C-alpha cells in the first residue's frame, strides 16, 4: 500500500478538485473489473489521495460524483479507514503507536520526543509542511514495539529517540528510512509455524 509521492497540501490546499483525463481513464478501467461500482470506492479514494494529498469532504464529493454514488457512501468508506487523510497533512505523516505493547515499551516517550523535536503537538503539522505527528491505534506489529508507520508505508520498529532522530534526518534528505521487514507467519508442510524477518 505504498503511497509515495503524495503532494504536500498541508499549507496550501487546492481550492477546487478534479481528476485528470488519465485518472478518469484509470477509474473507468477499474470500474470495468467489478460488477458493482461500489467496489472501486477504495482504489479511487487512493487515486484521489495520491493526487491531492488528502480526501477532505470536497474530494469525497468529487469521488462520489465521478462514480455516481451517494456522497454518504464515499464519506462512510473514507471515515472508516484511518489511512485516508480527511484533511491536509504534512508531506510525512508519523503515526506513532501508543497502544498497550508500544505504550508499555516507550511509545508515549517517543511521541513526547517527537513533539519536542518538531515543535508541534500530536495532531499538528510543522509550519514548513514537512511533518504531521499522530498517535495511532495498534498497527499490528506489537512484537516490534515501540513502532511507528510513516505515511501509510514504512514501519520503523524498536524505536529509540536516537533512531527517531535518524529517521527524521533521512526523511528530510529524501531517503527511505531504515526499516525491518516483518514477515507473516509461515506454515510448512509439517504444520510447524515459523516466523521470519530480515533487515533491509
Would you tell me which residues interact with ligand FES (CB under 6 A)? Answer: 97, 99-102, 138-142, 145, 147
Cell numbers for 133: 505527528
Instruction: Determine the 3-state secondary structure of 174 from DSSP.
Output: coil
HEC profile of 34-77: CCCHHHHHHHHHHHHHHHHCCCCHHHHHHHHHHHCCCHHHHHHH
- Cα 21 off chain centre by: 26
Shortest reach from residue 156's CB to ligand FES, in Å: 12
Give least dist CB 97 to ligand FES, A.
Answer: 3
Residue in the structure block whose three cell numbers are 509542511: 129
Nearer to ligand FES, 77 or 110 (CB): 110
Task: Choose between 99 and 122: whose C-beta lies nearer to ligand FES.
Answer: 99
Minimum distance of ligand FES from residue 182's CB (angstroms): 10
Which lies closer to ligand FES via its Cβ, residue 60 or residue 135? 135
Minimum distance from CB of 159 to ligand FES (Å)?
10
Q: How far is the CB of 105 from ligand FES (least distance, A)?
A: 8
**C-beta separation of 52 from 14 below 8 A:** yes
CB of 143 to ligand FES, least distance (A): 8
Q: What are the backbone angles phi and psi of residue 187, rounded to the nearest 5°? A: -115, 120
Rounded distance between C-alpha atoms, residue 136 and residue 101, angstroms: 12
Nearer to ligand FES, 59 or 156 (CB): 156
From 10, 27, 7, select the one nearest 19 (Cα to Cα).
27
Angle at 147 between CA 146 and CA 149, to 5 degrees: 160
DSSP 8-state secondary structure symbol assigned to residue 5: T
Amino acid at each position: 500500500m505504498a503511497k509515495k509521492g503524495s503532494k504536500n497540501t498541508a499549507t496550501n490546499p487546492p481550492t477546487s478538485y478534479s481528476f485528470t483525463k488519465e485518472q478518469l481513464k484509470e477509474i473507468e478501467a477499474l470500474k470495468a473489473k467489478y460488477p458493482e461500482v461500489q467496489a472501486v470506492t477504495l482504489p479511487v479514494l487512493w487515486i484521489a489521495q495520491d493526487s491531492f494529498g488528502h480526501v477532505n469532504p470536497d474530494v469525497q464529493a468529487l469521488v462520489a460524483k465521478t462514480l455516481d454514488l451517494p456522497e454518504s457512501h464515499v464519506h462512510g468508506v473514507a471515515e472508516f479507514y484511518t489511512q485516508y487523510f480527511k484533511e491536509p497533512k504534512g508531506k510525512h505523516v508519523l503515526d506513532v503507536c501508543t497502544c498497550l505493547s508500544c505504550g508499555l515499551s516507550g511509545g508515549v516517550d517517543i511521541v513526547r520526543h517527537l513533539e519536542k523535536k518538531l515543535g508541534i503537538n500530536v495532531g499538528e503539522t510543522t509550519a514548513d509542511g514537512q511533518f504531521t505527528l499522530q498517535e495511532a491505534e495498534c498497527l499490528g506489529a506489537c512484537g516490534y514495539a515501540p513502532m511507528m508507520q510513516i505515511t501509510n508505508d514504512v514501519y520503523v520498529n524498536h524505536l529509540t529517540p536516537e533512531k527517531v532522530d535518524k529517521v527524521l534526518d533521512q526523511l528530510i534528505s529524501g531517503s527511505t528510512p531504515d526499516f525491518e521487514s516483518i514477515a507473516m507467519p509461515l506454515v510448512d508442510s509439517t504444520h510447524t509455524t515459523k516466523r521470519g524477518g530480515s533487515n533491509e
